[in-house]
Amino acid sequence: QKEVEQNSGPLSVPEGAIASLNCTYSDRGSQSFFWYRQYSGKSPELIMFIYSNGDKEDGRFTAQLNKASQYVSLLIRDSQPSDSATYLCAVNMGDSGYSTLTFGKGTMLLVSP
Amino acid sequence: DGGITQSPKYLFRKEGQNVTLSCEQNLNHDAMYWYRQDPGQGLRLIYYSQIVNDFQKGDIAEGYSVSREKKESFPLTVTSAQKNPTAFYLCASVRADTGELFFGEGSRLTVL
HEC-encoded secondary structure of A80-93: CHHHCEEEEEEEEC
pLDDT at B42: 86
- Which residues 54-73 on chain B approach chain A with CB closer than 8 angstroms? 58
- Per-residue pLDDT, averaged over A28-37, amounts to 92
- Which residue(s) pair with B88 in the sheet? B37, B108
What pLDDT is stored for residue A8 in this prediction? 87
What's the Cα-to-Cα distance from A33 to each of B7, B14, B23, rounded to whole Å? 29, 39, 25
Q: What is the mean pLDDT of residues A80-94?
A: 93
Give mean pLDDT, residues B41-66: 94
Task: Answer for the pair B79, B88: CB distance below 8 angstroms, yes or no.
Answer: no
Nearest to B96 among A46, A97, A103 (CB): A97
* Under 8 Å between Cβ of A51 and B98: no
Query: How far B67 CA lies from chain A's nearest CA (Å)?
Result: 18
> Rounded to a whole number, what is the largest CA-CA distance in chain A?
43
CA distance B102 to chain A (A): 8
Q: Is the CB of residue B28 less than 8 Å from the CB of residue B102?
A: no
Could you give the percent of chain B with pLDDT greater than 90? 79
Judge contact between B77 and B103, C-beta under 8 A: no
Question: Among A44, A49, A97, whose Cβ lies nearest the Cβ of B103?
Answer: A44
Instruction: Report which of residues A51 and A100 the model is more confident about.
Output: A51
